[in-house]
Structure 1
């Protein structure tokens, strides 16, 4: 049996990476400040945070309505290709990066902005690749067709 068929990962990497990135940005901001200072940055950050939370809630609702898991370390029983998943194969991970940028703008701490792409790269290697193998093993051609229609990020 394919090891990816049962579940993609044993560790829920994406939320852990988001937490580590947030804590690292806060600690780095206190030890080596990289201030962001220009008019309207906090408003922009607030809008980004609201947008990221909105995407997360939309994606969670879509997964719930499809009767499948939101947990990144659990196996799925349905291929969800509508809602935000019709725009990005990983809308929650995109929202995580947007959330980091928004937090950086609100706190005026550039470390958040610098760590957002690091979070994305780590998420790609620790979670997305395994999740995609899981979906390919589980749904085969249906997942391949979905990949041809919808980009991985945006």
Structure 2
């Protein structure tokens, strides 16, 4: 199979990874020991959490919309037709995963649980190691020099 037809992933893992991280954080908070976040004003954390969740969802929608407008694969199970370097992809090579990570952190702020911080970190590291690496190999094989130039000017996360 050549690089023009090869798919980076067989299954859409990102939602499963982040969903599992959220489930584990909730389980740890309920079953192991609650680790509440402390703020000077108890209303402050949920407000920041909702604002962060709004930012995360907006970032994901913007990224998906940008990919769809450029007529390329949104899920990692499809072959990329075009190298997308506009929209949120100007600032991050992985804005969708960044949005998932921010959403996981925002849930921790909303329910005031510190378990979501390590959960988001582990989910991001798992995505980096198991998903992003494969997607980057696919894009490098597919777009070569153009992708290498894009990598030099755009950070992987933020």
Give the TM-score band, short-chain normalised.
over 0.9
Question: Structure 2: which 5+ runs fail to align?
Answer: none
Q: Which residue of 2 aligns with 1:83?
A: 87
Equivalenced residue count is 154
Alpha-carbon contact 1:13-1:126 (below 8 Å) kept: no
1:15, CA displacement in angstroms?
Answer: 1.0
Alpha-carbon contact 1:84-1:91 (below 8 Å) kept: yes
Q: Which residue of 1 aligns with 2:113?
A: 109
TM-score, normalized by length of structure 1? 0.95
TM-score, normalized by length of structure 2? 0.93
Structure in which a larger fraction of residues adopt helix = 1
Cα displacement string for residues 114-136 of structure 1 (whole angstroms, at most 9, x for unaligned residues): 21111110000110000000001
The whole-number CA distance in structure 2 between the counterparts of 1:109 and 1:3 is 44
1:2, CA displacement in angstroms?
Answer: 5.0
Measured on the aligned residues, the alpha-carbon RMSD in Å equals: 1.3
Moved segments of 4+, more than 2 Å: 1-5
1:144, CA displacement in angstroms?
Answer: 0.4
Q: Which residue of 2 aligns with 1:28?
A: 28
Question: Structure 1: which 5+ runs fail to align?
Answer: none
The whole-number CA distance in structure 2 between the counterparts of 1:104 and 1:56 is 19
